[in-house]
Amino acid sequence: MVDASQVAELRRFVEQLKLNPSILHDPSLVFFKEYLRSLGAQVPKIEKTERDYEDKAETKPSFSPKHDDDDDDIMESDVELDNSDVVEPDNEPPQPMGDPTAEVTDENRDDAQSEKSKAMEAISDGRFDEAIEHLTKAVMLNPTSAILYATRASVFLKVKKPNAAIRDANVALQFNSDSAKGYKSRGMAKAMLGQWEEAAADLHVASKLDYDEEIGTMLKKVEPNAKRIEEHRRKYQRLRKEKELQRAERERRKQQEAQEREAQAALNDGEVISIHSTSELEAKTKAAKKASRLLILYFTATWCGPCRYMSPLYSNLATQHSRVVFLKVDIDKANDVAASWNISSVPTFCFIRDGKEVDKVVGADKGSLEQKIAQHSSSK
């Protein structure tokens, strides 16, 4: 049974194809397009411009990369390829194939070999259609012979029918995964269709299995195109990666700015904020950390004479250093905060960066306070 969700997804894809059949010409769907053609389906051609018909033998791009709306302003260009030997795909009904489950007798094998011999004679005389007829009779008699399918594939290449050649080569490779002739025929057929990377892959395998001069000549034709496509793909993969990093950096900055705006709303720039509880202090400390700001915690008391001297100065410093968070704690009104900081005398000024105490000034030392603020506010 096919999964219901997969069926639904396939149905959606088919609906998209009905609306826009040109989707089939996306390079990533080559395998699907070939399958449709193997069933005898007619795949609509891409409309060509007047310029395309001026000189069919000239060098034109055949690899049209996929565009992604999420790629910001990357406009991917076509790849300049040598398509002078590319042919129009053959869309005829699939050729007859033998029944692989049929019993093959010695007589069948002998008769198939006889038909193959007739085919080879026809090939030497240039009678390719006749050769295909003989080879078709041969595969019907011996339907599991890889060499018969591979041989018929090579004849289909001579009459410029690459899709038929691919179908035969695929069957040959099913029966013999080491069929050099199967890989060679399929690679040459892929080259005829301008499927350069797949062609290069098959021809390289064929070359390793049984090299001949024809394979070498084809590789010299195919490899430059395949290499250009690969270089093009890597180039745009690199550009997309760079765009992804830029998007990530923009997102990081947006989040940082949002956190800073949130922190600024809670930190009252240029003012001294009174703290009445540990929870209140924790909230301000977190806000200062998010905004990457220095925080000063001033412990004071109403009965403290030196504090009355330092408080106006502290307020004045707050207006001068708007990027520094100035907090004030009355130890009698928020003794839990004072206790948690082990405050034994006032005035005491604790300097906090990223939630940790980095310095301290004890006593009404105006110069030290100003010097410490200047030092730590510029340290990050």
Token pair listed for 133: 């007829």
Task: Establish whether 350 is a catalytic residue.
Answer: no
Query: Which listed residue (193, 205, 215, 304) is catalytic?
Result: 304
CA nearest to 262, candidates 287, 279, 293, 282: 287
SS3 content of the chain, % helix, strand, coil (to 5): 60, 10, 30
Query: Which listed residue (226, 307, 324, 325) is catalytic?
Result: 307
User: How many Å apart are CA 370 and CA 44, to the nearest integer?
Assistant: 79
Task: Establish whether 307 is a catalytic residue.
Answer: yes
Give Cβ neighbours of residue 109 (< 8 Å, ≥ 6 apart): 141, 142
Token pair listed for 81: 């390829």
User: How many Å apart are CA 103 and CA 31, to the nearest integer?
Assistant: 31
User: How many Å apart are CA 80 and CA 232, to the nearest integer?
Assistant: 10
User: How many Å apart are CA 336 and CA 319, to the nearest integer?
Assistant: 28
Extended beta strands in 148-301, E state: 272-275, 295-300
CA nearest to 357, candidates 299, 295, 315: 295
Q: List active site positions.
A: 304, 307
